[in-house]
Amino acid sequence: MAKILIVDDEEMIRNVVREYAEFEGYETDEAEDGMQAVEKCRKNDYDLIVMDIMMPKLDGYSACREIRKSKQIPVIMLSARGEEYDKLFGFELGIDDYVVKPFSPKELTARIRAVLKRAAAPEAEKNPDVMRFEGLEINMPGREVIVDGVPAALTPKEYDLLFYLVRNKGLALSRDKLLEKVWGYDFYGDDRTVDTHIKMLRNSIGQYRKFIVTLRGMGYKFDASAQES
């Protein structure tokens, strides 16, 4: 049974998330602020954290950064702010998903299931190939990307997105397909999530961004023969 830590300074929000999570069969624990969340993570193990950003004592971003120093626990952030900058900042920290308040409890539950499913996926499901495209080297089993001989610092979701694009190189992939296969859900997705991560990924791989081709009105594909425009 997965154990979820729910972190929010609003008791009503904690109650709603707890009710739906426990209905799904998950075990839950709660924290009222970021400081309490950090302390609980030092003492206990959790399979997932659902955490608000704006909280007293220690905000969600800072709490996530502190927790990640010792434990790699998947995190879904809750926020009343839906600007691209806020999402981008969160994803650069390595969070797994971002949900804007007010949210649908059913949608949040679907995202919780998806994140837990990804976290539990066995290593054997990963493609063992190491691929090279000019100066871009992609080591899937080692979860490493090398750009012109230098390791690239990608976020966890950037790795997942790049690996999926490369495994399906040459194929046109819609945003919905990427949401379903990389994020693990389809009906609850937001196209902007894909576009934001594509932008981050392109920045991370420098000149080899040319391989990630935009298909106008459709999505993206990895094209190893693409030339810089």
Q: What is the pLDDT of residues 38-95, one digit of tens each?
A: 999 999 999 999 999 999 889 999 999 999 888 889 999 998 876 677 777 888 888 8
**Which pLDDT belongs to residue 187?**
45
Location of each CATH 1.10.10.10 domain in the chain: 124-222
Contacts of 176 (CB under 8 A, 6+ apart): 186, 189, 219
Location of each CATH 3.40.50.2300 domain in the chain: 3-120
* Per CATH, domain 124-222 is 3.90.1150.10: no
227/96: higher pLDDT: 96
Q: What is the pTM of this model?
A: 0.61
Whether residue 181 has pLDDT greater than 70: yes
Domain 3-120 fold: Rossmann fold (3.40.50)
Whether residue 190 has pLDDT greater than 80: no
Whether residue 12 has pLDDT greater than 60: yes
Report the percentage of the chain scoring pLDDT > 90. Answer: 61
